[in-house]
Chain A
Amino acid sequence: MADLTTRLGALTLPNPVMTASGCAANGRELHRFFDLTDLGAFVTKTVMADPRSGRPTPRMAETSSGMLNSIGLQGPGIAAFLDKDLTWLHSIGARVVVSIAGNTAAEFAEVARALASHPSFACVVAVEINISCPNVANRGLVFACDPMSSSTVVGLVHQELPPGTPTFAKLTPDVTDIVAIADAALQAGATGLTMINTLLGIVIDTDRLRPQLAGITGGLSGPAIRPVAVRAIWQVAGAMREGRIDTAPIIGVGGIRTGLDALELIAAGASAVQVGTATFNDPSAPRRVRDELDAALDARALTLADAVGIAHRRKVQL
């Protein structure tokens, strides 16, 4: 057994493997397959202020080693989430990362306020700020595509949470310079970063010769995007190492299917990892990835802490 303990700022977790937001619902479904407390943390589906029906179907298109989804942040709204879902997660002893979003920066703050005032906030080890969603007040431009919007949201959320609550801003890779967005989120007070969200894509149904998704565009996820995630983590971790931006913990997500996949993101600079789309293929994937990562670190005589960012130290100098 390798030492899998990981530190994300002031937060220490027994292992670095989490679910990914939107790929694990709110816990009950996967708890039928493995004990959620075996994970470093459970990451909830993004919750907004009000109930949302989500988009029409088809919402999904399979792609090579991946899929497009266009769910539209379907969810019960923060009040029902807190009373039903978070309360249940608390009852089973899970360490929970709550993913929040809003149509406006003010809505993010409203959701954070409700979360912080609920008794089950006690099980929340961190808040993930899903800024990779459209800002209704800014022509639908994704918050995380604009440093100013990202900064505003992170700042407002922080004001609503008890001091010291770890927060992670979840970034989209669909930007020109992800380091600039990472910098803005950290300057605004985020504890760390979650990278990456899905990439925007379109699939054409070749029988009907029209977009396959009812929502036209969807988010691409799955093993196909893993190199993009590794690249984004590498760039941001590299900027931290060079002192160009503040040093902060990174949670890596994007295309992890096996323990070795997880090790790639960790070696690029992630202190923790999330298993997303692979869970659709294998509902036991998050725990399996934890065990495979354990074996992979053992085989290399490394602890988790040794492995974080190791590829930066070992890269060939030319």
Chain B
Amino acid sequence: MRDVVQVRGEVVANRRVGAYHHLTVVAPGVAELARPGQFVAMAVGGPTSANLLRRSFSLHRVSPSGAYGGTLDVVIAAKGEGTQWLTGLRPHDEVDVVAPLGRPFPLPTEPVATVLVGGGYGSAPLFWLAEVLRERGCRVEMVLGAASEDRLFGVVEARRSADGVTITTDDGSAGTKGWVSDVLPEVITRTGAAVVYGCGPMGMLRSITEVASAHGAVAQVAVEESMACGVGVCMTCVMPVTGNDGLTRMVRSCVEGPVFRGDRLRWDAFDDGVCRVPADTVGAPRPGGH
């Protein structure tokens, strides 16, 4: 059975939300397959584009039916040529879509308490996740953090989707002044959360993992890494992850992730904009090797 589709999507809406754009695209067949934590890879610039590499985004929501047929929603920050092209799309424009991709957030088998932490527009997939968790009887607390108020995404939606919401901003323009990791210990302790889900910048995911581990909770984090293809063929989005056998391998975040158990990621490898290959990685370079 086919578990991914490639379709020529049609934009039905493109709305500005704070510092971001919220894009809705008709993409038949995606919603039936997708689960929270999976992502979409979009081609940019049309069929003759000079920008060949796909841009990947967490699925914010999917809808199997409706006036337009199945749709998917993504939240985009216009940072470079590709994202600027996407955020400039208008209704009826076409965009080539491949989705759903990657492994979704694993769901607890028991109705345990959970905390969902989003950094900036990294919160995009968490509202859908919150709904799925609450359907299973899980308590859901959300912590949303950003540099400033306009870079928060989904505060109103969070109040609908979660049992409790905590906001932080670096500059104090909304919620508590500080980082998500400043308030997370209190939220985990108060709710007795067993699982902390996170999505956002790598530094934040590392902090979430450390706080969760220190409070006896499991962290499940959706990582951010540049991808050329999103489908597992280019080998550019790798990072060192420790497997069940205790061995570290450079694994593709697009197919083995993007969701990893936080304590399995080799955070020691990430520094100054690069991710090194830890010396104990399977097949790591040796003197005289590669």
Chain A residues close to B by CB (< 8 Å): 22-25, 29-30, 32-33, 45, 50-60, 62, 64-67, 69, 71-75, 77, 103, 134, 136, 208, 214, 222-223, 277-284
Contacts and interface: CB of A to CB of B under 8 A. Distances in A.
A57 B274 contact: yes
B290 A25 contact: no
A277 B235 contact: no
Nearest to A72: B290
A23 B283 contact: no
Main secondary structure of the interface of B (DSSP, over half): loop
B282 A51 contact: yes
A279 B249 contact: no
A77 B283 contact: yes
Nearest to B248: A53
A60 B234 contact: yes
A278 B234 CA distance: 11
A67 B53 contact: yes
B14 to A, nearest CB: 22
Given A62-B52, A281-B54, A283-B98, A30 B233 contact: yes
B67 interface: no
A23 B233 contact: yes
Q: Which of A64, A65, A281, A282 has the most CB of B within 10 A?
A: A281
B50 A65 contact: yes
Contact of A51 (B6, B237, B283): B283
A134 B249 CA distance: 23
B173 interface: no
28 contacts: A30-B233, A32-B3, A45-B235, A52-B283, A53-B281, A53-B285, A54-B235, A54-B283, A56-B275, A57-B238, A57-B239, A58-B273, A65-B50, A65-B52, A67-B52, A67-B228, A69-B234, A71-B236, A134-B290, A136-B288, A214-B274, A214-B276, A281-B49, A282-B6, A282-B96, A283-B98, A283-B229, A283-B231
A23 B234 contact: yes
Contacts, number: 128
Given A29-B255, A54-B235, A222-B52, 7 more contacts: A23-B233, A53-B285, A54-B283, A57-B238, A58-B274, A74-B283, A75-B283
Nearest to B51: A62
A67 B54 CA distance: 12
Contact of A54 (B4, B233, B238): B238
Contacts of A279: 229, 233
Contacts of A64: 50
Contacts of A54: 235, 238, 250, 277, 283
B103 to A, nearest CB: 14
Given A57-B225, A74-B238, A282-B96, A103 B52 contact: no
Task: Report the interface size class on chain B.
Answer: 35 or more
Contacts of A277: 52
Closest 10 pairs (CB-CB, A-B):
A51-B283, A60-B236, A29-B232, A280-B229, A53-B283, A52-B283, A281-B52, A65-B50, A57-B275, A25-B233
A136 B285 CA distance: 13
Contacts of A73: 290
Nearest to B227: A60
Contacts of B281: 53
Contact of A53 (B43, B226, B229, B284): B284
Interface string B63-106: 00000000000000000000000000000000010100000000
Contacts of A59: 235-236, 238
Nearest to B281: A53
Interface of B: 2-4, 6, 43, 49-54, 96, 98, 225-226, 228-229, 231-239, 249-250, 255, 269, 273-277, 281-285, 288-290
B231 A29 contact: yes
Contacts of A278: 52
Contacts of A60: 53, 226, 228, 234, 236
A214 B274 CA distance: 7
A22 B274 CA distance: 22
A33 to B, nearest CB: 6
Contact of B234 (A52, A55, A280): A280
Contacts of B6: 33, 282-284
A57 B229 CA distance: 15
Given A50-B283, A53-B285, A25 B235 contact: yes
Contacts of A58: 226, 236, 273-274
A175 to B, nearest CB: 22
A247 B288 CA distance: 38
A156 B4 CA distance: 43
A32 B49 CA distance: 24
Nearest to A222: B52
Contacts of A103: 289-290
Nearest to A76: B283
Contacts of A208: 273
Contact of B282 (A25, A53, A72): A53
Nearest to A32: B4
A33 B236 contact: no
A222 to B, nearest CB: 6
Contacts of B53: 60, 62, 67, 280-281
Nearest to A64: B50
Given A32-B3, A283-B98, A53 B249 contact: yes
A57 B225 CA distance: 9
A69 B235 CA distance: 9
A282 B43 contact: yes
A208 B250 CA distance: 25
